[in-house]
Amino acid sequence: MSSRYVPYATTPGRLLAQLTSDAVVVVWTIVWVLVGLAVHSAVSSIAAVGRQLNDGATGVSDNLNSAGDSTDDVPLIGEALSKPLRAASRAALDIAGAGHSLDSTATWLAVVLGLAVAAPPILFVGLPWLVLRIRFFRRKWTALTLAATPAGEQLLALRALANRPLAKLAAVSIDPVGAWRRDDAIAIRGLANLELRSSGIRRK
């Protein structure tokens, strides 16, 4: 794959900084994802209690209702016995409904709280990192595209004359501006390389 398509610098210092920032962002993201999962798990345990309450109360309600049906056949006192059993069955159903509501609410809350805890710190670090990496990639792409043509190389050399320190310009040519005006190919290439290195690109 051409280095133009790789979103990393080819100069050692810039490359090391990028790899370090990548590692920091990955570790930071993993840590906060684990924290978010821990919060989700803690709140989900409340939902588990609600499910258990729903299942248990539903079972009790069914048993009481069955007992009420059975007592209907008892002579004389069957109806008197079945009424409290069916009332208790309805009360158990109310408890089951509360358990179901607790389960639903806690399940939804577990997701919301997990995201609320994990997302802000991840975005706080991740978004600036992503913006910087996209900006670097666009700058690298543009610089390499310019360096591929004589006119683009002259433009890079001109930018180097405007932006690079005087000591670095003098290291390329005693008279860098005059060399650029004379269209000195060696000096122009050296100046363009200065601008490329400032973008994290080392041309072979």
Type of residue at 46: I
How many separate helices (H) and strands (E) can be counted in the chain? 6, 0
Residue 6 confidence class, pLDDT cut points 50, 70, 90: confident
Residue 79 confidence class, pLDDT cut points 50, 70, 90: low
Task: List pLDDT tens digits, range 20-61.
Answer: 999 999 999 999 999 999 999 888 888 777 777 777 767 766
What is the rounded CA–CA span in Å between residue 119 and residue 21? 19
- 2 pLDDT more than 50: no
Which whole number is the average pLDDT over 15-22?
A: 91
Which whole number is the average pLDDT over 150-157?
A: 88
Task: List pLDDT tens digits, range 159-191.
Answer: 888 888 888 888 888 888 888 888 888 888 989
pLDDT of residue 78: 54
Contact 35, 119 (CB under 8 A): no
Average pLDDT, the chain: 81
Type of residue at 105: T
What is the rounded CA–CA span in Å between residue 96 and residue 136? 58
Which whole number is the average pLDDT over 133-152?
A: 86
Q: ∠ CA(153), CA(133), CA(157), 5° rounding?
A: 15
